[in-house]
């Protein structure tokens, strides 16, 4: 069970949602994936990422506006890790899992997000179609993280899921970076490279090539 973002103040919700958002089951997420996949097989991944991206960007905008109230100062006055944990906190409470943000490679413009208890991976695990279980399925999250961090950094960042619990990994792991890095990471991932190897190769390209 996971809770979506509450509707914006100005929007009239087309459903009887509470201010805390709309509660949806893992089955709903599974059905959302399947119906988009059936309708537009070639664009399904892009569509789900875009939904997540807009959600994450909107959430970040609201969060930055409320930051002085939540953090006791402007966003720049606290450590970026604290800032992002505070931003993500309501999503954990809403059933979207626990995320941790690794900024140790910020100089190389690489941010790695680890997520435990992904709602999309849970939905895939419950899916009787086995082929859906062996993929990287967390597309809403990929979009959410890249959209939110783009809003914070005020520049376009891309995202890719490097490993997924639905495909047997302990936790899901995402890379948020420039589109060139993300494109390269995706190629390596699809060629069977591990998340650890991909991040190492992007961090130390000359060393990894030896
Ligand atoms: Zn995943």
> Of 205, 195, 54, 60, which Cα lies nearest the Cα of 136?
195
Q: Compute the chain's Rg from CA coordinates.
A: 17
CA of 169 to the centre of ligand 1 (A): 8
Q: Both tokens of residue 201?
A: 């190769």
pLDDT digits (tens, 9 = 90+) for 76-91: 888 888 899 999 999 9
pLDDT digits (tens, 9 = 90+) for 124-161: 887 766 555 558 999 999 999 999 999 999 999 999 99
CA of 173 to the centre of ligand 1 (A): 7
- How far apart CA 100 and CA 88 sit, in angstroms, is 9
pLDDT of amino acid 119: 93
Please give the full DSSP string across 90-110, using - where no structure is assigned.
Answer: HHHHTTS-EEEEE-TTGGGT-
**Strand, coil or helix: 162:** strand
pLDDT digits (tens, 9 = 90+) for 36-61: 888 888 888 899 999 999 999 999 99
CA of 137 to the centre of ligand 1 (A): 5
Give me the CATH code for the 2-209 domain, please. 3.30.1380.20
- What's the predicted TM-score (pTM) here? 0.85
CA of 100 to the centre of ligand 1 (A): 14
> Of 88, 110, 135, which Cα lies nearest the Cα of 185?
110
The 10 Å CB-count burial string (b at 16+, else e) for 15-30 is eeeeeebbebebebbb
27: confidence class by pLDDT, cuts 50, 70, 90? confident
């Amino acid at each position: 069970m996971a809770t979506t973002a509450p509707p914006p103040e100005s929007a009239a919700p087309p459903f009887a949602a509470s201010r805390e958002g709309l509660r949806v089951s893992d089955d709903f997420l599974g059905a959302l994936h399947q119906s988009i996949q059936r309708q537009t097989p070639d664009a399904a991944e892009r569509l789900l990422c875009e939904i997540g991206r807009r959600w994450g960007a909107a959430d970040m905008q609201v969060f930055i506006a409320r930051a002085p109230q939540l953090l006791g100062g402007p966003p720049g006055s606290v450590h970026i890790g604290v800032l992002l944990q505070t931003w993500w906190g309501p999503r954990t409470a809403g059933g979207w899992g626990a995320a941790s943000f690794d900024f140790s490679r910020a100089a190389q413009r690489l941010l790695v997000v680890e997520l435990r208890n992904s709602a999309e991976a849970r939905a895939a695990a419950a899916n009787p179609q086995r082929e859906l279980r062996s993929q990287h399925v967390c597309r809403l999250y990929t979009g959410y993280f890249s959209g939110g961090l783009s809003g914070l950094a005020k520049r376009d960042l891309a995202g890719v899921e490097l490993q997924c619990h639905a495909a047997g990994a302990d936790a899901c792991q995402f890379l948020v970076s420039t589109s060139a890095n993300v494109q390269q990471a995706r190629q390596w991932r699809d060629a069977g490279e591990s998340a650890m190897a991909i991040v190492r190769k992007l961090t130390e390209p000359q060393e990894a090539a030896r």
